[in-house]
Chains A and B, each alone.
Chain A
């Protein structure tokens, strides 16, 4: 691990005791800082909590929130909740896949965009919903896809 990463990890860990029930909050804080969970960071967390690295890896691969590869500068999240589904979320997703040339879970080569689907954003009245970083776009249409991707640049 390079010195800078180690310093950042130590900084995160200073907020926690060595209680293994804090594993998930620690992973969340690490991902917030690094954008994803690099292997050496997970190993560092394992050492801190006195857990085998396999336990940390097991938890980080179980939960959808954790990413093991770098993500793009911007994240496009397409809601696939029921209300969005019945109002045409599939077409929105297809259009974004086409525009960015990536599938959900992937990141564009220039590390500009990551594409994700979420189970439900909870703004069903505005279905279909797409979220770019923190901006929520409701009542989406395939035509609006181009606009929200340009707006966010």
Chain B
């Protein structure tokens, strides 16, 4: 029999030795986003510097701490010092840091974001006191960016698999009741109570039963599940085991999109380690409970995030949804009872069993317990992966954690829930983030994409963008979704293309409601949300596009035009030579003119016009008077410091 206590004791001593060893420990975030930001080059520079100075150090690759705006991130622990977190490192800065901190003992407060662990250092704030982290409660992401995701001992040392050990000592019914008491709801977006879902599968008749982990994170603008699987795969896997025990399943699948190669790799490593420790396979931890888990890679179909479509895909078929009932709990994979939960839900399950339902339910609101992760991106200063208690307001997230809008621009809208969600205006910034408040406002919690739009983003174009996505991803099985999304997209393309008619607004609204009511699955059922919410909160912008032919954000190309200001043009020929359609006439030292009938609004002239001249302007809904043909320059040469137009 496997002795879990012995495994745990050994794991804890390995983890604790990290801070005590005479060798410094260097952690580097090498999740996909860290690598994209240059972490591999930084790692190489660190290795070279260590070699050059003949320093022995323990280098550990970790997942994502969520401070994406500060990638690449490197942490260093020296003996008897707190862990110092450094951000925005380049290979040069990293090499310098190795020399300065490890040899000369200068901790470089200028490069440090903060410290964590015991002890303080002058001029370096504490990491978890920073505005970006202080409002956060990290439960699902508890280990991301802190532990080595490829070392199961790190996970176990921080409480991992204790939840499973506890679950195996009580009855499956007691496990379900614990999850029900925690108030956990499905984090994939729909928010169905997890414990209740398990109870349905537990009570369903038929053998064998299956468990599926939905890791087919398909919403554009969402990367929570990827980060979680890359940064702490065992948190998810432990949750799956607990769920399998609770419903009585012996076989499970992780359905993960093929676009996440690193997450797949980390899962494979984790599964091998679990098997080695007797945490997977037959007779887990000597309890008599057996469970086998397989990875199934998706092949690029958004609709497979829908439960019944995912089941079809695992069976090797086209991933098309079917009508429900019967629900997967009764008739799922190969017609057997099947329980599907999303990655983040599973990571919460392991925490709930480890620390108890009451502890979990102490976070959040009455109907939305616990925390939710969000991928905060778009026009925001501190993009990142965050986890907040339910009930926090949008404003606290965007302005507190996210640090507001860059470049002094004005907030326009926040988009939650991706292509199934909606755009919320400034007036709703005090809205608490929970399932019910967001649904009432016409959006959804969704899986966790949160994209901030500023004054340079066009609301109608954003609705068009999401419809382009859902229309292309519609599987085509049911008519409302297949044809409805196409017609909705046509209307939105008309409006952004300058051909909108006043009656289009009403038609789009009615069509949206029909698609919502008549579609077979959640893809079609929620596809109209971006259109419906923008119609509800930003109707004036639709009207501007249709009546005044104006796009105030200057995004819709068909509604924008470019002019050369006669008093600014220096007749330098640059725009004339770069215009792809020869719409610009002029000569040296002559004011250039754009022929509006030839212009395709590509914007090249504005881009190439030297900033010191700033002679090209972009406008919408207005005309600027220019000479009929090129005339000699009368304007004086610009003085230094003339600002450019945008």
Measured in the bound complex, the distance between the Cα atoms of B320 and A94 in whole Å is 32
B221 contacts A28, CB within 8 Å? Answer: no
Mark each residue of chain A from 76 to 106: 1 if its CB lies under 8 Å from any CB of chain B, else 0: 0000111101110001001000000000000
Task: List residues of chain A with CB within 8 A of the CB of B451.
Answer: 82-83, 86, 124
Mark each residue of chain A from 124 to 153: 1 if its CB lies under 8 Å from any CB of chain B, else 0: 111101000000101000100000000000
In the complex, how many residues of chain B place their beta carbon closer than 8 angstroms to a beta carbon of chain A?
Answer: 55
CB of A70 within 8 A of chain B?
Answer: no
Task: List residues of chain B with CB within 8 A of the CB of A91.
Answer: 603
A82 contacts B299, CB within 8 Å? Answer: no
With known contacts A24-B313, A59-B317, A136-B35, A66–B299 Cβ distance under 8 A: yes
**Distance to closest chain A CB from B485 (angstroms):** 15
Measured in the bound complex, the distance between the Cα atoms of B223 and A64 in whole Å is 20
Measured in the bound complex, the distance between the Cα atoms of B423 and A82 in whole Å is 12
CB of A112 within 8 A of chain B?
Answer: no
State which residues 49-84 of A face B: CB under 8 Å: 58-59, 62-66, 80-83
CB of B453 within 8 A of chain A?
Answer: yes
CB of A22 within 8 A of chain B?
Answer: yes
Q: Residue among B36, B71, B218, B466 with the most chain A CB within 10 A?
A: B36
B297 contacts A25, CB within 8 Å? Answer: yes
- Nearest B residue to A79 by beta-carbon distance? B220
**Distance to closest chain B CB from A90 (angstroms):** 9
CB of A36 within 8 A of chain B?
Answer: no
A63 contacts B223, CB within 8 Å? Answer: no
Task: List residues of chain A with CB within 8 A of the CB of B194.
Answer: none
- Nearest A residue to B315 by beta-carbon distance? A21
Task: List residues of chain B with CB within 8 A of the CB of A86.
Answer: 378-379, 451, 453, 457, 462
CB of B302 within 8 A of chain A?
Answer: yes
CB of B375 within 8 A of chain A?
Answer: yes
Measured in the bound complex, the distance between the Cα atoms of B319 and A62 in whole Å is 8
- Nearest B residue to A62 by beta-carbon distance? B318
CB of B174 within 8 A of chain A?
Answer: no
CB of B571 within 8 A of chain A?
Answer: no
B301 contacts A62, CB within 8 Å? Answer: yes
A122 contacts B260, CB within 8 Å? Answer: yes
State which residues 349-385 of B face A: CB under 8 Å: 375, 377-379, 383-384
State which residues 307-358 of B face A: CB under 8 Å: 313-320
CB of A23 within 8 A of chain B?
Answer: yes
Measured in the bound complex, the distance between the Cα atoms of B441 and A37 in whole Å is 46
A24 contacts B299, CB within 8 Å? Answer: yes
B301 contacts A125, CB within 8 Å? Answer: no
A82 contacts B378, CB within 8 Å? Answer: yes
Task: List residues of chain A with CB within 8 A of the CB of B8.
Answer: none
Measured in the bound complex, the distance between the Cα atoms of B68 and A136 in whole Å is 15
CB of B222 within 8 A of chain A?
Answer: yes
A125 contacts B384, CB within 8 Å? Answer: yes
CB of A5 within 8 A of chain B?
Answer: no
Q: Residue among A28, A62, A82, A118 with the most chain B CB within 10 A?
A: A82
**Distance to closest chain A CB from B409 (angstroms):** 12
Measured in the bound complex, the distance between the Cα atoms of B466 and A10 in whole Å is 43
CB of B209 within 8 A of chain A?
Answer: no
A24 contacts B316, CB within 8 Å? Answer: yes
Task: List residues of chain B with CB within 8 A of the CB of A19.
Answer: 316
CB of B37 within 8 A of chain A?
Answer: yes
- Nearest B residue to A122 by beta-carbon distance? B223
B220 contacts A129, CB within 8 Å? Answer: no
- Nearest A residue to B313 by beta-carbon distance? A24
CB of B4 within 8 A of chain A?
Answer: no
CB of A1 within 8 A of chain B?
Answer: no
Task: List residues of chain A with CB within 8 A of the CB of B317.
Answer: 23, 59
CB of B387 within 8 A of chain A?
Answer: no
Measured in the bound complex, the distance between the Cα atoms of B375 and A57 in whole Å is 36
With known contacts A62-B318, A63-B299, A86-B453, A123–B415 Cβ distance under 8 A: no
Task: List residues of chain B with CB within 8 A of the CB of A111.
Answer: none
B221 contacts A83, CB within 8 Å? Answer: yes
Q: Residue among A86, A123, A142 with the most chain B CB within 10 A?
A: A86
Task: List residues of chain A with CB within 8 A of the CB of B258.
Answer: 28, 65
Which of A87, A122, A126 contacts B378 (CB under 8 A)? A87
A58 contacts B318, CB within 8 Å? Answer: yes
Task: List residues of chain B with CB within 8 A of the CB of A20.
Answer: 315-316
With known contacts A63-B299, A65-B300, A125–B378 Cβ distance under 8 A: no
CB of B449 within 8 A of chain A?
Answer: yes
Task: List residues of chain B with CB within 8 A of the CB of A66.
Answer: 299
A82 contacts B418, CB within 8 Å? Answer: yes
CB of B469 within 8 A of chain A?
Answer: yes
CB of A27 within 8 A of chain B?
Answer: yes
Which of A27, A119, A136 contacts B469 (CB under 8 A)? A119
A81 contacts B318, CB within 8 Å? Answer: no
B383 contacts A82, CB within 8 Å? Answer: no
- Nearest B residue to A135 by beta-carbon distance? B36
Task: List residues of chain B with CB within 8 A of the CB of A129.
Answer: 36
Task: List residues of chain A with CB within 8 A of the CB of B469.
Answer: 80, 119
Task: List residues of chain A with CB within 8 A of the CB of B300.
Answer: 63-65
Q: Residue among B258, B313, B316, B319 with the most chain A CB within 10 A?
A: B316
- Nearest A residue to B314 by beta-carbon distance? A21
Closest 3 CB pairs of A and B: A125-B68, A82-B221, A64-B300
Q: List 24 A-B contacts (CB under 8 A).
A: A21-B314, A21-B315, A28-B299, A63-B319, A80-B220, A82-B221, A82-B378, A82-B415, A82-B465, A83-B378, A83-B383, A86-B378, A86-B453, A94-B602, A118-B259, A120-B218, A120-B221, A121-B259, A122-B217, A122-B259, A123-B32, A123-B36, A125-B33, A126-B71
**Given A62-B318, A63-B319, A87-B378; 15 other pairs, CB 8 A cutoff:** A21-B316, A58-B318, A59-B318, A64-B301, A82-B377, A82-B418, A86-B378, A94-B602, A120-B220, A123-B33, A125-B377, A126-B37, A126-B71, A127-B377, A138-B37
